[in-house]
Structure 1
């Protein structure tokens, strides 16, 4: 099993830049892996593919230098185990609303006695890589998504969950949960305040803070706020932005970008 390079980057205090795949295109996933991102996340929650597609996408990411990650559609041990068996080096789990759910999530990503992951690393152990089972618990990263009022209420307990590597914020789901407008390039004040609090709580507990951003400028703001792990837009957001800018440049109609917003593919 190869080392998870993200752990060294985090230990060095380097911000990790993550790509996000929602299209069912191994070619696109492989291209992003070679594009300079530190990691590429295959999104099985909102992506336009199922488990078979996710396996192909993880294979494509693994062909390049980026670390393959996956977002599970739910807190589901069978799906999480299958994504890990397919070669994901980290799982982002949506809708973790309390510390009990966070603890169950971590256990699903760990082999006994530390957890409940079932043996069967399949593609992750192709060629019978020496030491996969012995190394997997130390290499696989666990990210719990904080995106609801209950999660904010139990935040300090969530970030204190043994074995949890970090929390990950979906600003637009968090905005909806707080009754604020989603999809803004700069989140509303109540969402911004919650995101600052999440990062601070994570660091006090000694875990990492990650989040979606609507684009590069928003991702940079997150890094300046102390976020360790940022996603500056999804694959489709990048494609739409570049396409709009190209058309506008040819037509001479200005910047041609819809801006950094959820409408261009954020979460």
Structure 2
């Protein structure tokens, strides 16, 4: 049953298989209640996707903007979050001016992050997602007709073309969001960053805006099919400029952004 849900549902990318490690402290325990809550999340996710995706695709024909995608993504995520008892609190320290070209980079604790960011970020943006998600029924269709982009990491030429297209869109005022860790961590600590987001920011000449999600790993672990209600906190940090930087500065840029995100995570831990 679980495998069938993973393979056929329009929320399959939220439930994509991952190597199962021992749960970290604070993760949802495996109980009857947390498993029932997880399957309620799956059902609500399917319902919300089937309702919202056609609306997003239809309106995109007339308003092909990041703002239109963000509007429908927020509604999609809001239905699921509220139905599952997940409350999101967002603190915006960036205070970006309207129309500011930028790249958001966020930590990735679990599948819940996609919903949290779709709902909480007060700025229009599109996701930069791996190419496999383009083949997901309904959800992939909706993302193709949006401000989002797909990156084929297995094809260097297509990957480069996608990054160049993303750079053009960003400079035109269509921000995007990436997960620089490249995978879900299922813990509060950051995994090593990959270069894609930082290379894109340098090539586009736009600032990087760090976004930190707290406690989503305490609310959902799709590998173990468990979840529970609760509050997820989000902080949008101050932008990191990239003007004048070149590829030789990538390592320093990555270290700067990672240090800022780690500082925000420590700050949250001390205030918890």
Give the structure-1-normalised TM-score.
0.31
Q: Which has the higher contact order (CA 8 A, sep 6+)?
A: 2
Give the structure-2-normalised TM-score.
0.30
